[in-house]
Amino acid sequence: MTRRALISVFDKRQADTLAKELSQLGYEIVSSSGTARFLEAAHVAVQEVSDLTGFPHLLGGRVKTLHPSVMGGILARRENVQDMEDVRIYEIPLIDLVVCNLYPFEEKARQGADLDELIENIDIGGVTLIRAAAKNYRQVAIVVDPDDYEPVLEDLRATGDVVPERRQALALKAFAYTSRYDGLVEKGLSSVLGQEMEMTSALPLTLTRAQELRYGENPHQRAALYLPPLTDVPWEQLSGKPLSYNNILDLDGTLRAMALFNGDCACVINKHTTPCGLAVGKTLLEAYERALACDPLSAFGGIVGLTRSVDEATAQSLVRTFTEVLAAPDFDDDALAFLRQTKPSLRLLRWQGGRVMPLQITSTWSGFLAQEDQTAPLPRLDKGEWIGTPRPDLWDDLILAWKAAYLSKSNAIVVAADGATCGIGRGFTSRVDAVNWALAQAGEKSRGAVMASDAFFPFPDSIKAAGQAKIAAIIEPGGSVKDEEVFDAARDAGISLFLSSWRTFRH
């Protein structure tokens, strides 16, 4: 019986070589018009789909292969008597191999095509061919990737057919291909139509592997970085070893911190997704050295984020401590050359803003949790309420401490003075333990310093501890049932409390 291949490809690379060899192996080739012209030019004997269907390509190409004579030949179950009777009655030619790749929706969307152009690049007939052939994979082979042309030909040369295991693998690959394509269409259209991803009843998440990672959090865990449709990582790696899983995870807090400073000269040192030093300075060097001074032990192996172009003086100071990743909006030429030469393994990232995920999605053993990302409008002096004497003179430090608490794992307490954090208690399961840790780390620097808490104080014990350490002002959301006891403790200790009314947990 005649073997037949339907070839309908937008990306025509290597399709001529494939078709030639298929012809030599005895296959009859059927193609949509553009592919047919391409193959004829390469001297391959080819029949046009329109000859088979009796219809020309309609609606400017919107309808080409969508016809029972094509779909019947792909979907017919060869072992099913009724199917084969239908095929015989309606003279439908059986198709054994489908080779198809789709209109370039992704390229068009990335080039910023308008809605009309995007719509015309939504492939319908090709997707239908692919899904039909993949559904009938037990008898039909579906090839969507030119990399599979040669393995398929090898099977045909060796056995006269595409071997069953390959047909099965090709079908799964084909479904993954059309599923990704639909994800791209959803994402491309929703951005042109201005509709952000939200908490819909179904959350389409078609992710593409952007980077294989050496391993996950630990060497025995396999891992990769995946990106949503039409996105690239928002940074550019200029130097250093490939990023690890933990680097990318820890970098998240660093980028969030950098975004909070909105151009101020600042430094954050992050470890295990949470800051261990945050400071502003008149120069980048000053900001870095003051952030480092908060907790130099923890800064070892940390991720450093700087909010200005890295200069050579800062680079020279930085190389004295082991750092995993350095992110900055840019690098001065001499600083870049120095860092590349002195620390060739140090990962240098240029990040000028931008993020990939509109939603924050976490996988748990119970399912995927999705929430709106926490992007911070900072607390405002004119929007909150003071308990005790107002201390607007300490506002800058209160906000700096608030930023560090906002970025830290809950429960988080931060002590700050003169534009730098000096004690960070984070990840504690009791708030008063976080307070005690932060105060112990700050030591003498607690006198006259400020404190931030990521959530309300459930008891007055934390305030009493802060009072003993001579903390001058605290920013916290308020909202505890014991707020009045907390406020009394603050008044007794002479601490000014600013109530921001905004909790910033990070579990």
For ligand FAI, the binding residues (CB under 6 A) are: 8-10, 31-35, 61-66, 100-103, 123-126
| Distance (Å, whole) CA 136 – CA 77 | 7
Least separation in angstroms between CB 183 and ligand FAI = 17
| Helix axis angle, 68-75 to 125-135, nearest 10° | 20
| Residue whose token pair is 């001058």 | 472
In terms of CB distance, is 175 or 459 closer to ligand FAI? 175
Q: Residue 390, Cβ neighbours under 10 Å: how many?
A: 14
In the chain, what is the greatest distance between 2 CA atoms, to the nearest angstrom? 97
Residue 135: active-site member: yes
In terms of CB distance, is 34 or 467 closer to ligand FAI? 34
Task: Exactly one of 12, 135, 464, 482 is catalytic; name it.
Answer: 135
Residue 352 to residues 225, 240, 257, 298, Cα–Cα distance (Å): 20, 19, 13, 26
Residue 403: active-site member: no
In terms of CB distance, is 44 or 102 closer to ligand FAI? 102
In terms of CB distance, is 66 or 293 closer to ligand FAI? 66
- Beta strand pairing status for 413-417 and 266-271? unpaired
Beta bridge partners of 415: 423, 451
Task: Exactly one of 20, 173, 241, 272 is catalytic; name it.
Answer: 272
Q: Which tokens sit at 83?
A: 């199917």
| Distance (Å, whole) CA 59 – CA 64 | 9
Least separation in angstroms between CB 207 and ligand FAI = 23
Least separation in angstroms between CB 132 and ligand FAI = 11
| Residue whose token pair is 């009843």 | 201
Least separation in angstroms between CB 426 and ligand FAI = 53
In terms of CB distance, is 149 or 338 closer to ligand FAI? 149
Residue 402 to residues 136, 430, 473, Cα–Cα distance (Å): 59, 19, 12
Least separation in angstroms between CB 47 and ligand FAI = 13
Least separation in angstroms between CB 123 and ligand FAI = 5
CB-neighbour burial class of residue 272 (10 A; exposed 0-12, middle 13-18, buried 19+): middle
| Distance (Å, whole) CA 190 – CA 323 | 40
In terms of CB distance, is 133 or 162 closer to ligand FAI? 133
Cα-based angle 313, 318, 319 (whole degrees, multiple of 5): 110
Active site residues: 135, 272
